[in-house]
Structure 1
Amino acid sequence: MGRLVPAVTRALDILELFLDGDGTLSAPEIVRRLQLPRTTVHELVSTLAARRYLVPVASEPGRYRLGVRPYQLGSRYAEDLDLAAEGRQVARGVAETCDETVHVAILEDTDVIYIAKVDSTHAVRMVSAAGRRLPAHCTSVGKMLLASLPERELDARFPDGTELAAMTPNSITDPAVLREALARVRARGTAVENRESNADVSCVAAPVRDRSGRVVAALSISVPLIRWSEERRAELERLAVEGAAELSERLGHRRAA
């Protein structure tokens, strides 16, 4: 990495203050929070305002808010995002940490489609592939995605009295039981699959959100039974949550403070 330019770094520090503020800042507040000289802050703020990164607040003299330029840059970045490509990069990092198979999946009707996959290096591992489609109710990623839907959408996709397809003896086949499971997923914030799509594999999953906060995908970690335990589950849930949060940030989502 080349030498960082102090003036650019300070200008970016000013812009990033708006990520956690109330929407407006004054020059004295910037001086206090960044511990910069008043003259430096004045010059940087003036430059950012001239380039439309900041604009004065008409009703509050001396205060500034973000201008249109950061929005334009963010929108351009969002246009170029590739969920599958970003998912592969994040999944690779998670897989390197836990050495288990990591998937990123999206929901289509009542199925999930795996859009990214990184394998474990273990000889015994889950056999799957990007592009594979599975019933959502049988998978941790599917339950995570279904849990994000409004009740009316769940009712339309899983009418009462419908028998759901089973992939293993552990699969949920009753829509009422599925709704109970989804309520637990919402309460917990993660989903767990106990040998419901594969009799020899358990999985954990966490939600991936876009910049609006909407759940658009889920990230899962799949583990053969020979390496599964409650202690391992807790560790993998944490890694899945961290990986899903990283992917969400890449999509423009801001973590809660």
Structure 2
Amino acid sequence: MGRLVPAVTRSLDILELFLEGDGTLSAPDVTRRLQLPRTTVHELLTTLAARSYVVPVPDQPGRYRLGVRTYQLGSRYAEQLDLAAEGQQVAREVAETCDETVHVAILEDADVIYIAKVDSTHAVRMVSAAGRRLPAHCTSVGKMLLASLPEAELDARVEGRDLAAMTPNSITDPGELRTALAGIRARGLAFEHRESNPDVSCVAAPVRDSAGRVVAALSISVPMIRWSEAREAELAELAAKGAADLSVRLGHRARS
């Protein structure tokens, strides 16, 4: 990780102060509560106001409240919450069909985060949890999401990083990973055979938003004792259908 930028940290500290009290603050309030120089506070508030993150309070000279830009960011976050809610519903429907563990995950940097999960009812099943973070290159959802990135963005997330192994089957060579991602792009599905868990295989398909962008991936995870070539083909078809259903819920319309 790179170093923290003090000016950005202080700006965020100021914005978080608005979560308390009546939602309005003056420059002296900020100076006192954050123990910052008055000149620094004035410059930061001026910058935040210029970008509409804070705005002056009408009829209260010198006081500020949160601006429209923070609302826009919050709205975008709410859209992600919608993805989680819709993903949970579709994951439940897929799990009811196959009685295996179903995940929906998003990509963050070089990791995946599971935002929805429905368990199998079998006694032997994958143990995981929504909110868990795993290296993208070790999972079917992660490889599906990496394969969907533009080349420059993929380079930024993968090049120069240590591709750590979670099991002896994990891909740790960048060249091998790129070959695997090319195959995933070609077939539109990603498979993982005991790469993040020595006892589990998975298949994943892409989830698209209204603009056609891949924003998540849906996977089905199966213990090796229930995995076979016939089962793999069946679950691949089901994962693709589940991902397509979730995409439709997000406003995606596939081309004819």
| Counterpart residue number, 1:200 | 199
| Counterpart residue number, 2:15 | none
Whole-angstrom distance in 2 between the partners of 1:131 and 1:80: 13
| Counterpart residue number, 1:188 | 187
Overall identity of the aligned pairs, in %: 82
Asked if the contact 1:91/1:118 (under 8 Å) is kept, the reply is yes
CA RMSD of aligned residues (A): 1.4
Residue identity matched to 2:184: V
| Counterpart residue number, 1:176 | 175
Q: Secondary structure at the match of 2:203?
A: strand
Cα distance per residue 1:211-245 (max 9 Å; x no partner)? 00000000000000000001100000000000000
Asked if the contact 1:163/1:174 (under 8 Å) is kept, the reply is no
Q: Secondary structure at the match of 1:82?
A: helix
Q: Secondary structure at the match of 1:217?
A: strand
1:170 to partner: Cα distance: 0.1
Asked if the contact 1:192/1:202 (under 8 Å) is kept, the reply is yes
Whole-angstrom distance in 2 between the partners of 1:179 and 1:163: 14
Residue identity matched to 2:134: L
Residue identity matched to 2:140: S
Whole-angstrom distance in 2 between the partners of 1:165 and 1:153: 20
1:80 to partner: Cα distance: 9.5
Q: Which runs of 5+ in 2 are unaligned?
A: 1-77
- Please report the TM-score for the alignment, with normalisation by the length of structure 1: 0.68
**Superposition pairs for residues 1-257 of structure 1, below 5 Å?**
82-159=82-159, 162-257=161-256
How many residue pairs get matched? 179
Whole-angstrom distance in 1 between the partners of 2:192 and 2:96: 22
Whole-angstrom distance in 2 between the partners of 1:182 and 1:80: 25
Whole-angstrom distance in 1 between the partners of 2:80 and 2:112: 24
Q: Secondary structure at the match of 1:207?
A: strand
Residue identity matched to 1:130: A
Whole-angstrom distance in 1 between the partners of 2:186 and 2:239: 16
| Counterpart residue number, 1:74 | none
1:256 to partner: Cα distance: 2.3
Q: Secondary structure at the match of 2:116?
A: strand
Change (3 A) 1:212 1:121: same
Whole-angstrom distance in 1 between the partners of 2:114 and 2:163: 20
